[in-house]
Homo-oligomer: A and B are copies of this chain.
Amino acid sequence: MRATLLFQAGDVRVEDVADPRIQQPTDAVIRIVTGCVCGSDLWPYKSQPLTDTPRQMGHEFIGVVEETGTEVKSFKPGDLVVVPFTYSDGTCDNCRRGLTTSCAHGGPWGVGGVDGGQGEAARIPFADGTLVKLPVGEDSELLPDLLTLSDVLCTGYHAARTAGVKAGDSVTVIGDGAVGLSAVISAKLLGAERIILMGRHTKRTDLGREFGATDVVAGRGQDGVAAVRELTGGTGTDRVLECVGLKNALVQATGVVRDGGVISRVGAPQYPEVPFGFPEFLRNITLTGGVAPSRAYIEELMPHILNGDIHPGRVFDRTVALDDVAEGYRLMNDREALKVLIRP
């Protein structure tokens, strides 16, 4: 089959790899219907050294079950399924607690003999634990919305949930990428009254307003902090959803959060240490969040998509064929696209 491989920074290609096949009785094999490029794919796309063992890229995808192992009980060939961005057994202590990203037997796509999601097909370990069936056909217009359940919507939702967003809260969302915009959707779903979106790309922040942002702050650093404080009578907001992953964004988060408030970070940290010493201690600021256990949120969020309450698939502003995936990476890396959908 054809799959996306990253050989080194900037060098992503679609090449032939081994066809997936059932290896364990708990496996399924799916034909991929749609996938996409993630902001987190851009970190290795920017930095990966040359390698002989290129990683299969992609971890957000929807597919049709083609074959199942003998122990798979919940799926049969023909089922349309959404795949969370990590696989998980669904039975271990962490999975039962909803922390599927810390599954005892789970892991990420594209490494250790596991396929990626930017290809024609994939073997799915622990199919019963990992997959969620979609109650629509593969030609449904909702597919882009449902694809966001793999990662980006759930990641934004994880930020809002771990931050404890509740009715009436004020929330700052840092970052106008697809995760930030998903965090806006999520904060609104949870009842936030005021949602301040910090971002400087007007096209994106305009979409953020449509998703529920009540204010947009284009300034960064001290200027941005001052603007948010002015909007909030000097106090900052109850919650901050940090959807970037850079140290500057986290410093900005401590600047805009109110005393006793919560920062949730869902941008993959590109820093080893956090400036979180005595001043933040005196202000009783909490730092939470982490990698999103998407699997645990899918059933909760899917009805909002099926009912038409939310349209998270609007973050996809470009579509490429699988063979043109390199162009998709370029578009996102050059910020010409917000998020790129892939149709094999």
Knowing A102-B283, A260-B102 are in contact, say whether A278-B273 is a contact too (CB < 8 A): no
Taken together as a complex, chains A and B put the C-alpha atoms of A268 and B277 apart, in Å, by 9
Interface pair A269/B259, CB less than 8 Å apart: no
Minimum CB–CB distance for A281 against chain B, Å: 5
The residue in chain B whose Cβ has the minimal distance to the Cβ of A93 is: B235
Residue from the list B97, B284, B293 in contact with A291, Cβ < 8 A: B284
Q: Which of B271, B287, B293 contacts A287 (CB 8 A)?
A: B287
**When the two chains form their complex, are residues B269 and A278 in contact, meaning their CB atoms are under 8 A apart?**
yes
Q: Contacts of A99 on B, CB cut-off 8 Å?
A: 259-260, 284
Contact check, A274 vs B272: say whether CB atoms are below 8 A apart.
no
Question: Size of chain A's interface in residues, with CB distance under 8 A?
Answer: 34
Nearest-neighbour CB distance to chain B for A297, whole angstroms, equals 13
Please determine whether A285 and B274 come into contact, CB atoms closer than 8 angstroms.
Answer: no
- A282 adjacent to chain B (CB < 8 Å): yes
Query: Residue on B with the closest CB to A259?
Result: B102
Give Cα distance in the complex from A93 to B259, angstroms.
11
What chain B residues lie within 8 Å of A265 (beta carbons)?
A: 281
Q: Given A94-B260, A274-B276, A287-B276, A282 and B162 touching (CB < 8 A)?
A: no
A293: nearest chain-B partner, CB-CB: B284
Asked if A289 is at the interface of the complex by the 8 Å CB criterion, the answer is: yes
Taking the closest CB of chain B, its distance from the CB of A8, in whole angstroms, is: 21
Q: How far, in Å, is A258 (CB) from chain B's closest CB?
A: 9
Shortest C-beta distance, A79 to chain B (Å), equals 30
Complex Cα–Cα for A282 and B268 (A): 9
Contacting residues of chain A (264-307) with chain B, CB-CB under 8 angstroms:
265, 268-269, 271-278, 280-291, 293
Pairs across A and B, CB under 8 Å, 11 listed: A93-B235, A94-B259, A101-B282, A102-B260, A102-B283, A268-B281, A269-B277, A269-B281, A274-B274, A285-B290, A288-B288
Chain A interface (Cβ within 8 Å of chain B)? 93-94, 97, 99, 101-102, 162, 235, 259-260, 265, 268-269, 271-278, 280-291, 293
